[in-house]
Structure 1
């Protein structure tokens, strides 16, 4: 057992050794496979990691690209939103010089800082209640200056009101003081006391009320909408800056501030309030009542925080505007005021469709004129008798605001639409100028306005009265016509009869001249005018009155209210508050708020403020008017010249004077609407002489020349003219009568001129023979007989008969000729410097004088002849004609222009 056991043990050990060997070999093989497997796995992992890294890199690149694009889109959208909310200077940095088209309305948002990305941070300002700024005073004031600068840069200065309450009198906004040099209303001196602030806020409330009325007339919700509707600035924005709040604020001013913050912003009022934490509010003042209405900003370090901003948004302070930038903005605003003349609406554009095809409208119901634009729409006014009755128009405006231009708009707009058979105009200019001269014929005698029936080109009350009398007569004539046709008015008459009775438009520029005074002429003018204003509409008679002022007209003190009640349509250009109320109505000061020359307030309801329409009158281009009037003149086939009155000119000779069968001397034209001259007829009767009395060589030349030329016109070759010339020592034609005497000679009439030294003997020796045997009608013209030394001395009747003692004076012979000469066809016209000289030659009672023609006579002489209440006639040249045999009294006459060789009879 022992050896077997040993062999078994040995075999077992060998097997165990082989097993260990095998195990070792297997372990070595396993380690080798494990290492290979690990290496393979690690390689696989490395390969996968590389692939993943590649895919991740691609994905990251794609994500980065998308993020970049998204960021670019967000930035562009942000910039677009910023540009839309606050275009231009309202949002750009001070270093950004971008400029674009100015918006119609200023931005309602404005920049107050920058966010982390550098984009502008905006907050609502204009057309919003406003801002409340807390923090260090310098920072708040820098922000206020920045906001005001951005607002000034984008708002026309005429339409911006900066109102400052500065109780500490710090003058922190002094950089804007230069604005008031261009427009005092834009930045008046600041208020420093509570009472001053109360006045300031009252003015702001009044302006907000005016803005509200304009907005209401356009149904606009905000002032900006009104600007856009009009296409221009029409009413001002107001910024109320309150510094050191609530210092100096009492309960009343606090309530007004709260009221403005609650309801003023749609009407253009916004607040900028700087909160002073050290200032204690006065009794009754609760700052939170105001602060809760405003956008709050608090300065912390270099950031603005606000309860209306998310906590995640960090807004950095804006730097204050550089001095040169601030100065440039203010200077540009000042310069723009001088160059801004306002919108221009050419009249040619408004009338374009009528110019090529004029006179297509009828005046059956209305005469309508387009005179400008209201917003984007044409503005028209219509004068009508009924439905509703708008018969008359009142226009007012300060000097230089475009009143004359507006009148031209109306006149030419009517003239191009209605033919002279539909409308005729009577045009009176009381301005001491010649505004209406354009409607008269030109230098070639052509191109007058066909519709012009009467033209008065200078201020003259007597002629104004004559026009009123003419229109009153026309009203009475039409009343008879309508009564015969059984019609109640012009509309019914035209419809029933088919007859084109024209409407009549009386236009009086500076009408107050006609009605200012306390004399009989003024009273008569007021009486006639009142009747025309009240009754004219039914007869197609309309009135347009125009003036710089309608207040304080003495002649209308008693009846002005009842007269102006007949003028429902009222138009005012810019004027004072007082005149605005006088033209429109009490408490209607809208005309004082107008900005540009040519802007108008139109009211069709007796000036009631709620009916105001704000518009721009068209610009009547001079060249267009000349061409238009020429076109209308060529279209008119009637060729009826207007009746023209020039207050400082001679009367014009008719183109074809009528020669009567009688010996008729023409003096001139009456101050009346008639072509019939004022004449003196020489009859075969006693007392036919004419005494021309007074000084003034030109007037005397005009009167005496006209008398000689016209009285002898139908005498033929048998006529005779004898001139007793006391001015000259030679028997030559006197200069003043030369043209008239030439006409007599052209008719082969006998003309004799007796010089001063021969006058006495001629009168004594020759005139008695004319009295006993006068075969030819004779005109004796006596000039300056007071210069003939021996004219009143007794002379021998027959100087050759030395035994005759019978004497007579030349004065006695002249009295006989003056008294009885007419019975034998011997007529006397003499010129004396005064009535005393007349009496020295024709006795104290001026024997034989049938007619006086008073030149520049003394007042005593004038009243002695014309009556105790007569005054010297207004204007020049003028003469007063008094017929002693007539009950009509004195007549003021405009002499015919002195004769020249070009004037024939």
Structure 2
């Protein structure tokens, strides 16, 4: 190739190379741009993925933490008994459970408390490391004691090797000695097992097979009959015999459901005696296997559990915090609250008193123009009755009867007030008491409210022109006008709704009184175990609660505590000690709470005080009006002293029991020479089991027959009086009232007594009585015809002699006209329908005094109106005297007198 051709080739190659380079550069540039875009796209996509991943991770974290918090709250609720009124450690915290959540990429090192059902639920057994077991048991016991009301959990420790592992708990003995005990010998352990069996039996009787455990019973509103007990058995079965162990096994099985739990620390298995089978005590219990590095629970061996180190020092400091306030409250004694000199205070400005204290100092309360009335509540067994007694005696010690009087009503049994009344066996009494209502009922409660209203009106009239008792007494220092404190215990009994609507009327009257009586120096304190169900209180801002500025609460449920004080004031539900009390003088506002403790008032202490006051007040001659709704009237030994004073117009008089009224004076029927002045006794006894009830507690119609015979024997002149008995009673009823003996007494006193038995004798007597009634002769004698067992008189439809009259008509004429001739009838029917038949369905025309017992509704509608609901009541009879303007009313009939 010539040189020219070579140059063309070279130039062509260079051009190609340039072109190729240019193309490669363009391609490279495009690739680079694509790569950048790809990388940018990947980067952007990675950020999106990262954001989504972070969001999901945060969401999962939040859900886990939320679940963790819910678990913690649930644990807290269980431990604190949230939403319940529990005051015992049903659940205890024994350590922590660790959860390693790092493996799922969420969070790490989560922990939740390890809690166990305890009191009333299970026994706890530990095997393995003694040191870890000591920590575990000390932790459980400290938790249980701290969560349980003081004196509601006691601790006994069996320590055969005398290691004194739990000696720090002896601090409990400084509060109450029986709260902690330690035993070392088999004989002591045997006694412990025996007392445990007695406890199980006692609780089982309490449950009556209706509840599976004490916890179920308590959660249905029952009361703890005996305190919970925990028994710690250390180094078990060291020193224990096979025989003693066999006693423990059934106790372990029945114990938890009957309020007794065991903590058992097993000794080294290599030291077990040959007879010991570990499963005999571990079956059904919570068992923990312990090493220095691991705690394994028999019911979930996968949990990673750690037990805190709870030393004896930790126990001491924990108990000090718990018992310091308890000891300061328990140190309050009755004498700490009482004045050094008695009956020296003046009530002109108010009533100062104390029923509780703290650190041996009394917490003083003054009822006056500002703090007028009060409310006291407390659950069953928390010391309400004791508080009321301390309050009454404290006031009585400060003020003489000229400065203070009490009106006291108890609508439940009346045991608290009974010692304040004089009796034949116990003549001492409370001289300040004006009215005592023992086992009161609504009818008597209403009568007392009306009496309070009467006292108020009388005082306001006396005090004019002064506005209140303070200014009146300051201006008239010589006038005696004591303040009056009215205490109504279990006042819901007064306000209870019923068919007669007496509860509604009492509620209205009580509210009216409580709003107005302040100026007259009358103060009212209402007391009850629970008030949330009282319809006259609930939801009424202008009701009774709005008038009770003083609020006092013993231990109660959160619901009752809030009802007593304020919706946000649950202090009374958080009390630990029996007798511990919250006192508030500002309608229940939390900031006004004062915490104190009511000292126990022994019967002996109160008796000494009462005897001293009785002796000091003997010259006053003032005794309280005592009403006991559970007792029948007793016929007085001297009837003439209690009968009507004006005897000029009467041929005799008999009492008809006592009215359900404040006066408590006998109701009398006077036998005047007026038509139909007779007494009919109708109905049956309300309690027929005389063997178990006793005659003194049975409202029996025949008791009125006894009263009539006794009264006539004492008030009539035997010379011009005669008594005719139509004895139609069965033998057992004659014996019940001692009829033969009673008639012998009348005969020996000179009375003309005729006893007629059988149909012919009675009808013959009717013939003679009719002749006397229809004759024109005037009589100077009085004749009392007792028709006993008129149901058995037989048919009265036969004709009377040669007339067209029937004996029924003749008898009605005798009943109607006989009293005008001094012939009176006192007759008894069991069958009310037969009574109506014998009186031609108009009993009031021939018997203008009618006394009704049980089963007499048809007669009640005749004498008390068609709307009458009377058909008999325990301890009551219905009486109507048509010669009086007063309508039918209840009386407390007489008790049978044993002859």
Q: TM-score range by the shorter chain?
A: 0.5 to 0.7
1:373 shift after superposition: 1.4
3-state DSSP class of the match of 1:426?
Answer: strand
Query: Could you say if the C-alpha distance between residues 592 and 497 of structure 1 is closer, same or farther in structure 2, counting changes exceeding 3 Å?
Result: same
Partner of 1:836: 833
In 2, Cα distance between equivalents of 1:895 and 1:320: 71
In 2, Cα distance between equivalents of 1:874 and 1:183: 54
1:382 shift after superposition: 1.4
Query: Could you say if the C-alpha distance between residues 351 and 810 of structure 1 is closer, same or farther in structure 2, counting changes exceeding 3 Å?
Result: same
Match runs of 1:323-722 below 5 Å: 343-345=329-331, 347-351=333-337, 353-354=339-340, 357-384=341-368, 386=369, 389-483=370-464, 486-498=465-477, 499-518=479-498, 519-556=500-537, 561-636=542-617, 637-654=619-636, 656-660=641-645, 661=647, 662=650, 663-696=652-685, 698-711=699-712, 713-717=714-718, 718-722=720-724
Note if 1:764 corresponds to 2:766.
Answer: yes
Query: Could you say if the C-alpha distance between residues 736 and 528 of structure 1 is closer, same or farther in structure 2, counting changes exceeding 3 Å?
Result: farther
3-state DSSP class of the match of 1:665?
Answer: strand
557-566 vs 839-848, which moves further = 557-566
1:874 shift after superposition: 8.2
3-state DSSP class of the match of 1:648?
Answer: coil
Query: Could you say if the C-alpha distance between residues 476 and 737 of structure 1 is closer, same or farther in structure 2, counting changes exceeding 3 Å?
Result: farther
Partner of 2:867: 869
- Deviation readout 1:319-359 (Å, 9 max, x if unpaired): 99889x789969x979x99xx898424544225543xx321
TM-score normalised by the chain length of structure 1: 0.61
Match runs of 1:747-762 below 5 Å: 747-762=749-764
Match runs of 1:270-349 below 5 Å: 343-345=329-331, 347-349=333-335
1:715 shift after superposition: 2.7
Query: Could you say if the C-alpha distance between residues 750 and 341 of structure 1 is closer, same or farther in structure 2, counting changes exceeding 3 Å?
Result: farther
- Deviation readout 1:560-592 (Å, 9 max, x if unpaired): 743222211111011111111111122111111
361-370 vs 730-739, which moves further = 730-739
Match runs of 1:11-160 below 5 Å: none
1:852 shift after superposition: 1.5
3-state DSSP class of the match of 1:588?
Answer: coil
- Residue pair 1:819, 1:849 contacting (<8 A) in 2 also: yes
- Residue pair 1:342, 1:596 contacting (<8 A) in 2 also: no
Partner of 1:111: none
3-state DSSP class of the match of 1:645?
Answer: strand
Query: Could you say if the C-alpha distance between residues 653 and 422 of structure 1 is closer, same or farther in structure 2, counting changes exceeding 3 Å?
Result: farther
- Residue pair 1:729, 1:755 contacting (<8 A) in 2 also: no
887-896 vs 768-777, which moves further = 768-777
In 1, Cα distance between equivalents of 2:468 and 2:873: 39
Query: Could you say if the C-alpha distance between residues 539 and 814 of structure 1 is closer, same or farther in structure 2, counting changes exceeding 3 Å?
Result: same
- Residue pair 2:855, 2:872 contacting (<8 A) in 1 also: no
3-state DSSP class of the match of 2:595?
Answer: strand
3-state DSSP class of the match of 1:602?
Answer: strand
Query: Could you say if the C-alpha distance between residues 731 and 469 of structure 1 is closer, same or farther in structure 2, counting changes exceeding 3 Å?
Result: closer
Partner of 2:44: none
- Residue pair 1:398, 1:574 contacting (<8 A) in 2 also: yes
In 1, Cα distance between equivalents of 2:607 and 2:732: 53
- Aligned residues between the structures: 598
3-state DSSP class of the match of 1:752?
Answer: strand
- Residue pair 1:732, 1:753 contacting (<8 A) in 2 also: no
In 2, Cα distance between equivalents of 1:377 and 1:731: 63
3-state DSSP class of the match of 2:354?
Answer: strand
Note if 1:895 corresponds to 2:893.
Answer: yes
- Residue pair 1:550, 1:583 contacting (<8 A) in 2 also: yes
Partner of 1:282: none
3-state DSSP class of the match of 1:554?
Answer: coil
3-state DSSP class of the match of 1:565?
Answer: helix
3-state DSSP class of the match of 1:528?
Answer: helix
- Residue pair 1:767, 1:813 contacting (<8 A) in 2 also: no
1:728 shift after superposition: 4.7
- Deviation readout 1:41-90 (Å, 9 max, x if unpaired): xxxxxxxxxxxxxxxxxxxxxxxxxxxxxxxxxxxxxxxxxxxxxxxxxx
- Deviation readout 1:824-868 (Å, 9 max, x if unpaired): 111112111233212332323234121211111243443343223
In 2, Cα distance between equivalents of 1:728 and 1:778: 24
Query: Could you say if the C-alpha distance between residues 747 and 659 of structure 1 is closer, same or farther in structure 2, counting changes exceeding 3 Å?
Result: farther
In 2, Cα distance between equivalents of 1:560 and 1:737: 61
In 2, Cα distance between equivalents of 1:183 and 1:839: 70
In 2, Cα distance between equivalents of 1:832 and 1:707: 16
In 2, Cα distance between equivalents of 1:731 and 1:405: 45
Partner of 2:80: none
Query: Could you say if the C-alpha distance between residues 706 and 164 of structure 1 is closer, same or farther in structure 2, counting changes exceeding 3 Å?
Result: same
1:762 shift after superposition: 2.7
3-state DSSP class of the match of 2:838?
Answer: helix
Query: Could you say if the C-alpha distance between residues 424 and 163 of structure 1 is closer, same or farther in structure 2, counting changes exceeding 3 Å?
Result: farther
Query: Could you say if the C-alpha distance between residues 163 and 476 of structure 1 is closer, same or farther in structure 2, counting changes exceeding 3 Å?
Result: farther
569-578 vs 845-854, which moves further = 845-854
1:404 shift after superposition: 0.8
3-state DSSP class of the match of 2:363?
Answer: strand
Query: Could you say if the C-alpha distance between residues 180 and 687 of structure 1 is closer, same or farther in structure 2, counting changes exceeding 3 Å?
Result: farther
- Residue pair 1:709, 1:744 contacting (<8 A) in 2 also: no
1:873 shift after superposition: 7.4
1:883 shift after superposition: 2.6
The structure having more radius of gyration, on CA atoms, is 1
Partner of 1:247: none
In 1, Cα distance between equivalents of 2:824 and 2:598: 61
Partner of 1:780: 785
- Deviation readout 1:511-530 (Å, 9 max, x if unpaired): 11111215421122112211
Query: Could you say if the C-alpha distance between residues 547 and 508 of structure 1 is closer, same or farther in structure 2, counting changes exceeding 3 Å?
Result: same
2:876 to 875, 878, 882: 878
3-state DSSP class of the match of 1:781?
Answer: strand
Query: Could you say if the C-alpha distance between residues 157 and 695 of structure 1 is closer, same or farther in structure 2, counting changes exceeding 3 Å?
Result: closer
In 1, Cα distance between equivalents of 2:734 and 2:411: 44
Partner of 1:116: none
Query: Could you say if the C-alpha distance between residues 496 and 585 of structure 1 is closer, same or farther in structure 2, counting changes exceeding 3 Å?
Result: same
Partner of 1:815: 812
Query: Could you say if the C-alpha distance between residues 811 and 730 of structure 1 is closer, same or farther in structure 2, counting changes exceeding 3 Å?
Result: farther
759-768 vs 890-899, which moves further = 759-768
- Deviation readout 1:380-425 (Å, 9 max, x if unpaired): 11111x2xx1111111111111111111110000111111111111
In 1, Cα distance between equivalents of 2:666 and 2:599: 41
- Residue pair 2:706, 2:737 contacting (<8 A) in 1 also: no
Query: Could you say if the C-alpha distance between residues 716 and 592 of structure 1 is closer, same or farther in structure 2, counting changes exceeding 3 Å?
Result: same
